[in-house]
Amino acid sequence: MMGQSVGGQDRLFYEFNLEDRIPTNHLLRRIDAVLDLSWLRDELAPSYSHTGCPSVDPELMIRMLLVGYCYSIRSERRLCQEVELNLAYRWFCRLGLEDHVPNHSTFSVNRHGRFRESDVFRKVFERIVGQCMNAGLVGGEGFAVDASVIEADASRFQRVKGNEVEWTEEQINSRPVREYLESLDSEPSPTSRARKPKAMSPVDPAAAWTARGRNKIMFAYSLNYLIDMEHAVIVDVEPTPTRITKEVDATEIMVERTEQCFNLTPDYLAGDVAYGTGEMLDWLVKRGIDPHIPVWDKGKRDDGTFSRKDFAYDKARDLYICPAGKILKTTGNLHADKTYRYFASKSDCDLCPLKPRCCAKTPSRKVPRTPNEEAREYTRSLMETEAYDRSRERRKKIERLFGEAKRNLSMTRLRLRGLTGAKDEFLLTATVQNLKRLIKFASIPPPRPMVA
Ligand code: SF4
C-alpha cells in the first residue's frame, strides 16, 4: 500500500527536543564534547565597554566560525543563513529553535574589529593545542615544517608592474592596503627590500606574485605549518607572502613561539631542501635542535670533478687539504656572496696529476666556505643516520594536513585579504584540523543524548 505523508506543518504545539535530533556520532557533537570556551568571556572582557547595546556573544561567534571552517562555509552571509536553517549547527552554537542568529553584517563587524584586535583566534588555537598536549597527542620529540601555497583573493588580471603604485584615497582607506603601507617600515617587512616584486595587486598588495601555484601564476600567501610528527598535531601556524625567504623566517618565529607558549622544543626538525640554508641550519644547531633537512649544497659537482666534500677541513689550522695532500688557505675576507674562499697554490696545481679532475679550466683550485659550514657539516652527518630516514618518512604527514585543508576544508583560495586576513583564516583552519585530531585520538566516548 502506498504510504502518504500526514503533513501537519500547521500544528500549534510540538513535542520537540533539539538535543534528541543530533546523532551521537555527529562530528559537531564530538567536537562539542572536547571544546571548552568557558574562559573566553573573561579573556575578552577588557575589549568590551560596560555601556551601550549588548554585542554578539563571543562564544557564539567562535562556535559559528568553527562550524563554517568545519563545513567549508567561509562566506559570512551564507554561514548566518546555514546556522539559521541547520538544526545541528544551531545545537552546536547553543541556540534554541527560536533564538535569533546574528545578522551577517553585525557578525562581520565583530569578527574583523574586536576579535582581530584581541587576537582571539590565536588564543583559541593555542588552547586546543594545550588540550592536545594534555591528551598525550604531542610527543615533543620531532617537529616538521612546510608551507603550502594558497591563492589570495586578488585577480591576477588586475595587477601593476613592480611595487610603485600611486595609491588613491579610496585604496588607502581599505584595510589590506592600509596594513600593507603601515608594515613597510616594520620588521619583518612583507616585501623584500633587496628585490622588487615583478607585480603587485592593488587590492591585496601584501600577497606575492608567484609561479609556485599548481596550475597558474597568481597572487598568493603561504600557509606555514609546524607540526608534531607523533600524531600530526599542528603546534603553530603562520601566514607569509609566498616567498621562500619568508617561509624560512616563519620557521624561526614558529619554533620560538612554541617554546615560549608551551615550553616545547623538539629534539629534531624535519623539512625539505628549501629550509636547508646555512643560516637556518646554524640557527637550529645553536638551539640544540638537530636539523633533519637536506643541506642546500652549492659546492657539490656532478661533472666528475672533485666536490667540496673531497677536501678535508682542518679546523685547528683553518685550512683545507686537497685530495693530493696540498693545503688551501684563505685570506680571511668575507666575500659578497657571504663565503670565505680557500685557494690552492698555482705551483702545486701546475704539477699535480689530479688537475684534470680538480680544476682543468682554471690555473688553481678554490673552495668556498660559509661561516655556517660547521652546522652544514653536522647536518650532513645526520643525513647518514636511521633517525633521519625515519623522519623523512614521517614528514609526509604534513603534506596530508595540507591535502586535508585544501580538499576537505576548501582552503584553496582565501576569502579575506591582507596578511591579517590570511592569519585569521589559517588559524581557524588549523584549529579545526587539531580538533579533528583531538576527537579522533583522545578516545573520549561521545555523550549520549539526554532522555527527556
Ligand atoms: S689540482 Fe691543486 S687543489 Fe687539486 S688536487 Fe691537485 S694540488 Fe690539490
DSSP string, 184-202: TTSSS-SS-SSS--SEE-S
Taking the C-alpha atoms of residue 60 and residue 335, their distance in angstroms, rounded to an integer, is 58
Ligand 1 binding pocket includes 354 (Cβ within 6 Å):
yes
Dist. CA 324 → ligand 1 center (Å):
6
Ligand 1 binding pocket includes 321 (Cβ within 6 Å):
no
Q: What pLDDT, on a 0 to 100 scale, did the predictor assign at position 106?
A: 86
pLDDT per residue rounded down to tens, the chain (452 residues): 777 777 677 777 777 788 888 888 899 999 999 999 988 888 877 777 777 777 778 899 999 999 999 999 989 999 999 999 999 999 999 998 888 888 888 888 888 877 777 888 999 999 999 999 999 899 889 999 999 999 999 888 888 777 677 778 887 888 888 888 887 776 666 565 566 778 888 888 889 998 887 778 899 999 999 999 999 999 999 999 998 889 999 999 999 999 999 999 999 999 998 898 888 999 999 999 999 999 877 667 777 788 888 899 998 999 999 999 999 999 888 887 778 899 999 999 999 999 999 988 899 999 988 888 889 889 989 988 999 999 989 999 999 999 999 999 999 999 999 899 999 999 999 999 999 999 988 655 555 555 54
Q: What pLDDT, on a 0 to 100 scale, did the predictor assign at position 192?
A: 59
For the CA of 345, the closest atom of ligand 1 is 2
For the CA of 353, the closest atom of ligand 1 is 6
Where exactly are the structural domains of the chain? 18-118, 127-294+383-441, 308-369
Taking the C-alpha atoms of residue 389 and residue 373, their distance in angstroms, rounded to an integer, is 22
For the CA of 358, the closest atom of ligand 1 is 4
- Asked if 429 contacts 411 with a C-beta cutoff of 8 angstroms, the reply is yes
Mutation pick for ligand 1 pocket among 365, 366, 367 (CB with most ligand atoms within 8 Å):
365
Ligand 1 binding pocket includes 323 (Cβ within 6 Å):
yes
Give the residue among 191, 188, 213 at the shortest CA–CA distance from 200.
Answer: 191
Q: Residue 356: how many CA atoms within 13 Å on its side-chain side?
A: 1
Ligand 1 binding pocket includes 365 (Cβ within 6 Å):
yes
Ligand 1 binding pocket includes 30 (Cβ within 6 Å):
no
Ligand 1 atom 7: the closest Cα is on which residue? 349
Ligand 1 binding pocket includes 322 (Cβ within 6 Å):
yes
- Asked if 242 contacts 191 with a C-beta cutoff of 8 angstroms, the reply is no
- Say how far residue 348 (Cα) sits from the centre of its chain: 52
Residue type, 52: G
Ligand 1 binding pocket includes 326 (Cβ within 6 Å):
yes
Q: What pLDDT, on a 0 to 100 scale, did the predictor assign at position 265?
A: 93
pTM: 0.86
Q: What pLDDT, on a 0 to 100 scale, did the predictor assign at position 146?
A: 94
Ligand 1 binding pocket includes 319 (Cβ within 6 Å):
no
Ligand 1 binding pocket includes 348 (Cβ within 6 Å):
yes
Q: What pLDDT, on a 0 to 100 scale, did the predictor assign at position 187?
A: 64
Give the residue among 119, 118, 79, 71 at the shortest CA–CA distance from 102.
Answer: 79
Q: What pLDDT, on a 0 to 100 scale, did the predictor assign at position 113?
A: 77
Q: What pLDDT, on a 0 to 100 scale, did the predictor assign at position 193?
A: 59
Question: Which DSSP letter does residue 36 get?
Answer: -
> Which one is the CATH code of 127-294+383-441: 3.90.1150.10, 3.30.420.10, 3.40.1370.10, 3.40.30.10?
3.30.420.10
Taking the C-alpha atoms of residue 224 and residue 296, their distance in angstroms, rounded to an integer, is 20
Dist. CA 348 → ligand 1 center (Å):
7
Taking the C-alpha atoms of residue 128 and residue 389, their distance in angstroms, rounded to an integer, is 31
Ligand 1 binding pocket includes 358 (Cβ within 6 Å):
yes
DSSP string, 303-362: SSS--GGGSEEETTTTEEE-TTS-EEEE--PPPTTS-EEEEE-HHHHHT-TTHHHH-TTS
Question: Which grid coordinates are listed for 376?
Answer: 652544514
H helix or E strand, kind and range, residue 41: helix 40-44
Q: What pLDDT, on a 0 to 100 scale, did the predictor assign at position 202?
A: 86
Q: What pLDDT, on a 0 to 100 scale, did the predictor assign at position 98?
A: 84
Taking the C-alpha atoms of residue 24 and residue 451, their distance in angstroms, rounded to an integer, is 13
Taking the C-alpha atoms of residue 129 and residue 137, their distance in angstroms, rounded to an integer, is 9
For the CA of 352, the closest atom of ligand 1 is 6
Taking the C-alpha atoms of residue 161 and residue 199, their distance in angstroms, rounded to an integer, is 4
